[in-house]
Chains A and B, each alone.
Chain A
Amino acid sequence: MVALVPQQPARVPATVRRWLWRRDWTPDLLLAPALVATAAVMGFPLVFLVYMSLHKWSLIGYAAPAFVGFGNFAALLGDDRFIQSLLRTLYFTALGLATNLPAGLGIALLLQRDFFGRGFLRALLVFPMVATPVAMGLVWVIMLDPSLGIIRYLLGCVGISHPPLWLSDTNWVVPTLVLVDAWMWTPMVALICSAGLAALPGEPFEAATVDGASAWQRFRYLTLPLLMPMLLVAAMLRLMDLLKVIDIVYVMTGGGPGHASETINLYNYLVALSYDKIGYGAAVALVLFALVLAATLGLIRLRRAT
């Protein structure tokens, strides 16, 4: 027989009690509603996404979702279309960053100079950003058409009579979409860089000029390193957008010809909402989420290092 001995409540160490008592909890209490709201808005969808990804889930009929564990993720490994869309998205992102950042920086450097019409040019730069991607995508489809489009005519005027079949050639379709994306979003990079350039201190540049540094040396050893934090911010924003790109691809090619321009986000949309594989689509979405998160965290770490 076991003797019933009253349990002594665990004693909180005196130092901890003092710390708890003396700590000012006001900031935490003030932050709490925002934190709860953020957790509800951001956290719940993510948790539900994970839940969906572990089920075989169809909207057709009344059958309850069936738990499949990590079956959807295992199936992704054997899904050639998924793997190809993932690789294509990385290619799209790399090409996008390689065009957006240098071009945006170049435009910002040009706009730094004082010239007639600079203000107008800056206003003009904003136009592609504020235009609706879907409408602009359709405009580009018509402009790039080899029979009706103006691009062929303009290239013909400068002696290029047989331009590529921009959206019909499997080798050209992704670079063409990247160019349209760059037309829309390079101005944003340029504006971020312009803000960064405007905030750079003047003294180092004056000292370098006195020391006989060339324009290239001033750019290479002063402008670029000083601007790097802003460039990384621009890179981070573009990286997230490029990894998630869907709008212009959906409108301009629908992922075609065949699947030659299908990005992971477009594949995700088709699988979940068109093919009625909600659970499998959730698994694709989680992979995309992990990809965007990892890339963003990598850039944040790089920014801290600089």
Chain B
Amino acid sequence: MISGCTRRDALGFLAAASAAIALDRPASAAGFDWKRYNGTELHFMVSVHPWTAWAQKQLSALAAETGIKINWEILYEDQLRQKLPLLLRSDPGAVDGFFTLPSWDMAAFSRAGWYEPLDKYIHSDHTAPGWDFADFFPNILKTHQVKGEQIGIPITIELQTLFYNKTILAAKQLAVPKTLTELMAAAKALNDPKGNVAGYVTRGDGVQAVYTLAPFIFAYGARWLDDKGQPELASPGFVDGLRYYGEILRAAGPPNIVGMQWKTTYPLFQQAHAAMFTDATNFIAFFKDPTQSRIVDTVGVAPLPAGPAGSHSTLISWGPAIAASSKKKDATWLAIQYLTSKAMTIAALEATHMPPSRQSVYNSDVYAKSVPADLVAATKAEIGAAVPNGANPVVVPVPEVRSAIGTAIVSVLQGNDARQAAETAQQEVVKILKG
């Protein structure tokens, strides 16, 4: 999410950009030739995202430093998912680089052979000495790996956290919940239908809610798929997580929870009509925006409450990848390196406030100053145990499988039996995966 660009942001950005140039030049001095693909033109297809908007502004600097000119085509996520496969399939060589979300794309794109394996570039003289691959969080690198091989470079961390309204919790003298039992008790205690305040809110739209359901099933020890890639949706942990999700939202959610998408859940919390909210860390931008939020000073962030199997957020990350059909792979890798270097990661953080995937930047003062301290603490606590690409089962037909699981979520939100709903979803997903 893009927050408004303030004077402070602009100054910070300028400082970071200067740092970028300063940091990159020693690499050239050490013998790395950034101009080796001077005059090359590349075509990148990316989705609308704060990072891609920021990166677009760096293309002129990239052209000056490397001589590579990039046609940066930005599309909405849905459009990208329709147009990119068409081009990759029908016009090999038309696309050199693209933006990928492996939790969604990885199974299909790797089956199709559309990802260029990156290890041979990363561990060779194609990579600048100072780029420092080891600097990325190992757990985040896993989100962009197929059988251990890197297929993309993760640019940010997207976890889920618990957001809470400090004023509403303080009024009832309640502590921030640390376990699912405490979360249920607090949500019920804070729920005030007459005062038009829900105790707890998260997504209730089936397809979208697969993402927010994930930490609950992980907290009960379940997983989406078994080791053979088959669905594991009727396991006791899955049923317990699904049941909990239905119970808490039926007991303490807003009356119209069934069918609520993120675009209607976050405004409830933002306008102080919900006491607690779980979703992606990115939502902090909406809550800290004084032009639209009523909780700028009262929003708190905490790690997701733990269940019997602990607290496990989802961990997803967008990032650039090279098209296997590209005829300019080396130049594409050079461009990706430039945009994902340490210095550029700092610049991107200054502009987007999104948690960075590089440890050195994540642990720096720049990050600590750009987001609230409790968000830094919450993400630090979560990142080690988070499930890479856990937002949904990583299978080829992700949308269809999400729809089937979503039907189970809607069913429990309507008061139906969780076990029955989970077993139906299991049968449905098995059928879908058989094709």
Contacts and interface: CB of A to CB of B under 8 A. Distances in A.
Given A167-B259, A168-B256, A61 B397 contact: no
B206 A257 contact: yes
Contact of A59 (B86, B111, B268, B413): B86
Contacts of B411: 258
Contacts of B255: 146-147, 165, 168
B86 A168 contact: no
B396 A60 contact: yes
Interface in A124-178: 138, 141-142, 145-148, 165-170, 173
B112 interface: yes
A168 B249 CA distance: 14
B399 A274 contact: yes
A167 B261 contact: no
B407 A258 contact: yes
Contacts of B206: 256-258
A51 interface: no
A265 interface: no
Contact of A147 (B89, B198, B259, B399): B198
Which size bracket describes the interface of A in this complex? 20 to 34
Nearest to B90: A59
A118 interface: no
Interface string B384-415: 00000000000011011001001100110110
Contact of A275 (B198, B256, B267, B397): B397
Mostly, the A contact residues are: loop
Interface string A18-50: 000000000000000000000000000000000
A171 to B, nearest CB: 12
Mostly, the B contact residues are: helix
Contacts of A61: 89, 111-113
A60 B399 contact: no
A92 B297 CA distance: 46
Contacts of B85: 59-60, 276
A258 B89 CA distance: 33
A196 interface: no
Interface residues of B, number: 42
B256 A259 contact: no
A167 B397 contact: no
Contacts of A146: 254-256
B82 interface: yes
Contacts of B259: 167-168, 173, 253-254, 256-257
B71 interface: no
Contacts of B263: 138, 141
B363 interface: no
A273 interface: yes
A270 interface: yes
B296 interface: no
B111 A60 contact: yes
24 contacts: A59-B85, A61-B89, A61-B112, A62-B113, A141-B264, A142-B264, A147-B196, A147-B256, A148-B273, A165-B255, A168-B255, A168-B260, A170-B414, A253-B259, A254-B205, A254-B261, A256-B205, A257-B259, A257-B413, A257-B414, A258-B406, A258-B407, A259-B407, A275-B397
Ranked 7 nearest A-B pairs via Cβ: A257-B259, A61-B112, A168-B256, A258-B410, A274-B399, A257-B258, A256-B259
